[in-house]
Structure 1
Amino acid sequence: MSKLIHNCKIWTDSGYKEWLLFDENEIKEVGIGDHPASDEKIDLDGNFVFPGLIDSHIHVYGLGRELSRLRLNKPRSISELQNKLHEYSKKNQDLKWIIGNNWDQDYMEDNRYPSKEDLDLIVDDRPVLLFRACNHIGVVNSKALEILNIYSKTENPLGGIIEKDEHEVPTGILKETALSLVTDHIKITDYKTRKKIITLGLQKCVEVGLTMVQTNDPNCWEIYKELEKNDELPIRVALTIFENDLEREIRPTPSSRINFLSCDRVKLFADGSLGAQTAALRQPYSDTKAMGVSIHKQDDLDAKVLRIKQAGFRLEVHAIGDLAAEMVLKSFEKANISKDERPILTHCQILAQDLINKMSQLGVIANIQPQFVTTDSQWVEKRLGEGNERLKYAYAWKTLLNNQIPIAGGSDSPIELPNPLHGIYAAIFRKNPQNEIWRPEEKLSFNESLDMYTKGGAFATMMENQLGQLKENYFADFIVVDKDIGEKPEGIMDTKIIQVWVNGKKKF
């Protein structure tokens, strides 16, 4: 059955068009003027049509889970954090663990990490865990430390830090792999609950205009397969599994693809986060003189990369600091990963020219999160040193493009909101919380920013001949919005999603 959308402005590489004809799930023709016959005509009331938007780095399970947790929303002080914790704990007396997200010491007037004592003043009878905005640091109360058997003599796990004061007493701060000490106590194992969480996350994604997600969700393949089988996936899902998923009895085979669902890559972590000062740097942080945390030694990282390649999967590796990027690129090179395999370096926040040159040589895709500029720009110079040469390669999206590095855009939600329009706006304007432009030389055009979330996302999942553009023989994935964001991108943040179409069907 053919359908025709008309009375609208349709964004294409060759300019705006007036109508689009699709049959079932495939675009047949896009044009101007008189339109061809169709079985059904859809009048879009003068609104604007853009290609379906793709989030190339998101955690759908984490997003759905966070929607049901305490949302701290970056409190401005320790006392505000305590007030929110107090209200939540009163309303949720049945919870065995109180878990919250999204504090950031750089946004708080106290300018310090919260401590176990801060939490104990509010809740001392139940364990509490509050994640920093990056999810690479958490703070727990004394009850949690007791349950976790963390004391003065407890040693740091490999790749993690249990912070202690000058008397070797744990402060309540856990960094990187030290957070895994909590995992067994808070993880949700009930299948139905986990399926509900994923469904909640997917629904949020379609509401903000996403037609595809490339999601990092461990141990979720079986759930996604069931959702696909029951026609319950509202959007396309390219699942990235974790290394330990390779040991599971139920896991995808390399290059699995079942209608809306696919999986062809495995995720590794090379370091932590810049805000938590656990991103691995070549030179010390300017404000602490720490070097960050390398999750693996070089030999171990080499072995993991090679193992994943030999298992037939593509690589996606989290690397925020320049040292982490250097280590990952060495591992890619040692494993003889080819350009055709399109390895992915996720985040790429601190680079250097030699690293960019190596990325170009190896055909590495830069998977970037433009919203991080908005969040991080108010403190990144404090971390790296004002005027430091490495700032030149911090969040350097334009530099990557100028060096012919393919880029794909993502939100890293729930770290940031999953709204792709917010990411496009951040890439174009690079404004900090004070509405000032940070490093304007790295601003992208609207076309470049849109491409990140369309063509770039399609390239990252090897579907560039089917997705990312509104043209003949491509899938009918598109969104309808109420503003001409192509002509007036300054209005992006006030733009309303009117409709979302995936595979020729209206999903929102």
Structure 2
Amino acid sequence: MRKPDVIFFNGDVLTMDDSFPQASAVAVKDGMIVAVGDESDVFDWKTEHTKIIDLNGKTLMPGFIESHIHPTIYGSTLLEIDCRPETTPAMEDLLQKVSEEAVKTPEDEWIRGFGWDDSKLVEMRNPTRWELDEAAPNHPVVLKRSCAHMAVANSKALEMSGITQETPDPSGGHIERDENGNLTGLLQEKAQGLLDVPRYDLEDMAEGMRLAQQQFAEWGITTVHDMSTQTTDLQLFQYLQEQNELRVRVRPWIWAIDQNGFDGSLDEVLKVGLRSGFGNDLVKIQGMKFMLDGSVGGKTAAMHDPYVDTEEKGILYNSVEEIHPLMEKAIESGLRVAVHAIGDRAIEVAIESFEQIHNNTNITGMRNRVEHCVMPTVDHLRRMKNLELVAASSIGFLYHIGDNYVAKLGAERVNHLFPHKSFKEHGIVAPGNSDLPVNSGNPWQSIYSAVTRKTSSGQVVEQGEQISVWDALKAFTVDAAYSSCEEQLLGVIKEGSKADLIVLSENPLEVKPDHLKEMKVQQTYLEGDLTFSQSQSYEEVLKG
């Protein structure tokens, strides 16, 4: 279907192209940028069919690219109990929501929720199975923590899943017990995979993704990297595209091996011969995703030094000897590799694994990735640069859960987390991300923290690693596009790039840094098609 021809003029155009950073007008033809400059140049493209949009001094820039989220998981959470601290600040509120859901749910059907955070609950602790039993005695209940690395289940859910006091901890996971050996209901990391929770069907997933896409458009996000793609996810993206309902670009990273309740597909992907880049403009395969540790909030990220006031050093899922041969199989088959590594001990395993592969196969230029990359050392940065690895930095963590990081790691270690200035100085491309639904996917909150090094409470973390607003914007546009080898096509306004655009009421380069987190998107366009307007309902936008 032919895309609309559009000219935007009379605005501040932030191109995110270092060689030509600003302009005042842009011409779009059939979904592509055909001219960027001033009005006199751009209006040469005007025809009787061209739609003219006067920006009235507003700012136009490329749509945001989220380099690490879980879109279908986020979509499913929109179908579940909302347990985020904003809606359930105290345990009483959380349990009340479970009780309300139990009233309208048939007995023995699962009740699911997402988003509780012990560090933000008034009680500063995890829910227990006994509390969930009281709230919903006749239903299996499972509530996932905001980090998705822990879940709490009630007695009925444990029973239906065959989890008893005698069940051993799985490798890379932990089943919590109290001082008397009784199950508390908390399952960490791979232990979550023991729960026999029914999967959502295709139509449920489609409904969740429709809701998610609406939010993406409101945030100005036009491309998402799905970092835990399962078979059903890939089927969903194709189904929505067939129905002409996919309104965000998806870059799937396929889950490699069985972990954390996810089914690994490495062998199947290798068998059918998929390679990175297979697909089309909307859905394009990126590679394989591996996972080496957990989260700081759950004290399961793998550290060299223990967490504050504990002897705990987190959970390392795999050694170099275990993970590197699997990564090597993927790379030798033409698939890029992304490795979840938060703690310094996990980052070391990731880099050493890449180095061993590089001894046999040149991997520079592939743009393999270290996901989150929260705690790299200076030595890690040097080695990452040598391998030309991408640091997919979850800078959104600093805003949303930075206070908890300070509590768990101490101020000194936190000062060196998410080192965006050091990434830049070492020549490492570091796209930003939120890890939605672990945190809100609003890119402005992440951009704010990258620039100010402040958490959501206003606590200041060492400012030596802060970066400019321009560089923070690049982390969610052209640098994120670089991580999918599409920096000439996405995340930038230049001739030959896609017309994925957002309109802002203010120029982020001109507002005070503390105002960045308050920025709003007024319109979002995907290939020149309007997908969000602040002045119209979503239904009106879809009708055109």
Q: TM-score, normalised by structure 2?
A: 0.88
| Alignment RMSD | 2.1
Counterpart residue type for residue 285 of structure 1: Y
SS of residue in 2 equivalent to 1:106: coil
Q: How far 1:195 moved relative to its partner?
A: 2.8
Match of 2:295 in 1: 273
Q: Deviations over 1:361-395 (max 9, x none)?
A: 111101012221122221223322344xx444322
Task: Structure 2: state its 5+ residue gaps.
Answer: 257-263, 533-544
Alpha-carbon distance between aligned partners in 1 of 2:154 and 2:348, rounded to the nearest angstrom: 37
Task: Structure 1: state its 5+ residue gaps.
Answer: none
* Superposed counterparts of 1:451-490, under 5 Å: 451-488=474-511, 489-490=513-514
SS of residue in 2 equivalent to 1:408: coil
SS of residue in 2 equivalent to 1:241: strand
Instruction: Tell me whether 1:404 sits opposite 2:432 in the alignment.
Output: no
Paired residue for 1:121, among 111, 114, 134? 134
Q: How far 1:224 moved relative to its partner?
A: 1.6
Instruction: Tell me whether 1:185 sits opposite 2:200 in the alignment.
Output: no
Instruction: Tell me whether 1:344 sits opposite 2:369 in the alignment.
Output: yes
Counterpart residue type for residue 424 of structure 2: L
Identity of aligned residues (%): 29
Alpha-carbon distance between aligned partners in 1 of 2:178 and 2:529, rounded to the nearest angstrom: 57
Q: How far 1:412 moved relative to its partner?
A: 0.8
Q: Deviations over 1:305-361 (max 9, x none)?
A: 112213321001111111111011111111125121111001111221111221111
Match of 1:16 in 2: 22
Q: How far 1:33 moved relative to its partner?
A: 4.4
Q: Does the Cα contact within 8 Å between 1:151 and 1:169 map onto a contact in 2?
A: no
Alpha-carbon distance between aligned partners in 2 of 1:142 and 1:327, rounded to the nearest angstrom: 37
Counterpart residue type for residue 172 of structure 1: G
* Superposed counterparts of 1:39-188, under 5 Å: 39=47, 40=50, 41-74=52-85, 75-93=88-106, 96-182=109-195, 184-188=196-200
Paired residue for 1:257, among 279, 300, 309? 279
Q: How far 1:83 moved relative to its partner?
A: 2.5
Q: Does the Cα contact within 8 Å between 1:222 and 1:251 map onto a contact in 2?
A: no
Alpha-carbon distance between aligned partners in 2 of 1:91 and 1:65, rounded to the nearest angstrom: 19
Match of 2:541 in 1: none
Counterpart residue type for residue 66 of structure 1: T
Counterpart residue type for residue 506 of structure 1: L
Q: Does the Cα contact within 8 Å between 2:237 and 2:283 map onto a contact in 1?
A: yes
Counterpart residue type for residue 421 of structure 2: K
Q: TM-score, normalised by structure 1?
A: 0.94
Alpha-carbon distance between aligned partners in 1 of 2:112 and 2:419, rounded to the nearest angstrom: 34
Q: Does the Cα contact within 8 Å between 1:55 and 1:457 map onto a contact in 2?
A: yes
Q: Deviations over 1:213-249 (max 9, x none)?
A: 1112211222222333443321221111111223458
Q: Does the Cα contact within 8 Å between 2:107 and 2:139 map onto a contact in 1?
A: no
Alpha-carbon distance between aligned partners in 1 of 2:5 and 2:99, rounded to the nearest angstrom: 56
Q: Does the Cα contact within 8 Å between 1:252 and 1:263 map onto a contact in 2?
A: no
Q: Deviations over 1:246-291 (max 9, x none)?
A: 3458978212122321002111110000100000111221232111
Distance 1:136 1:8, change over 3 A: same
Aligned length: 504
Alpha-carbon distance between aligned partners in 2 of 1:176 and 1:167, rounded to the nearest angstrom: 22
Match of 2:265 in 1: 245
Match of 1:235 in 2: 248
Structure 1 outlier segments of 4+, above 6 Å:
249-252
Match of 2:36 in 1: 30
Alpha-carbon distance between aligned partners in 1 of 2:491 and 2:530, rounded to the nearest angstrom: 17
Counterpart residue type for residue 530 of structure 2: K
Paired residue for 1:308, among 313, 330, 335? 330
SS of residue in 2 equivalent to 1:121: helix
Q: Deviations over 1:138-196 (max 9, x none)?
A: 111111121122222110011100111222221111000000011x42322x2222233
Alpha-carbon distance between aligned partners in 2 of 1:57 and 1:468, rounded to the nearest angstrom: 15
